[in-house]
Amino acid sequence: MLTIGTKAPDFALPNQQGETVRLSDFLGRKVVLYFYPKDNTPGCTRQACAFAANHNAFAERGVVVIGISKDSAASHQKFAAKHELPFILLSDTEKEAIMAYDVWQEKKMYGKVSMGLVRTTYVIDEQGVIEKVMPKVKPDTNAADILAYLDAAE
């Protein structure tokens, strides 16, 4: 995991419309960057829908929400349309940002060890510096936990 106070690695990835988005595009705004394993899986859908349900609360605070997985832009487009997701989803099929943010790690499930994306959220400040690291977040409470953090930090 990257640590608090570290400059957030920049990246250039396609969004759900196939347009290139860079983290540096959002300098001057706080960014919630959340990494999730896969579109349309139960936990990832609950997490995305929780961010969608709280979209206005993030917008009122001037915070940009960005989700990243290794799914394709086409998969993200379907996922966003199906669940009416009003925020940016980025496709990282080459694991560029996933590796830079150190979220591709060993996972254990049912006694089997494999490599995979560990559900992690970073809060990045207006200068592009990591302000908060939330490893192994819970899909159902991630959005609310971040809002509570943002309110406490003010």
Tell me the per-residue pLDDT of 68-93, one tens digit each, with 9 for 90 and over.
999 999 999 999 999 999 999 999 99
Partners of 121 in the beta sheet?
34, 134
Residues 6+ apart with CB under 8 A from 54: 143, 144, 147
Alpha-carbon radius of gyration of the chain: 14
pLDDT computed for residue 1 by the predictor: 79
CATH topology assigned to domain 12-137: Glutaredoxin (3.40.30)
Whether pLDDT at 36 is above 80:
yes
Whether pLDDT at 3 is above 80:
yes
Sequence spans of domains, the chain? 12-137
Paired tokens of 100: 């830079």
Give the mean model confidence (pLDDT) for residues 117-142: 96
- Amino acid at residue number 96: E
Instruction: Please list the active-site residues.
Output: 44
Give the mean model confidence (pLDDT) for residues 43-56: 96
- Dihedrals phi, psi of 105, to nearest 5 degrees: -140, 170
Whether pLDDT at 154 is above 80:
no
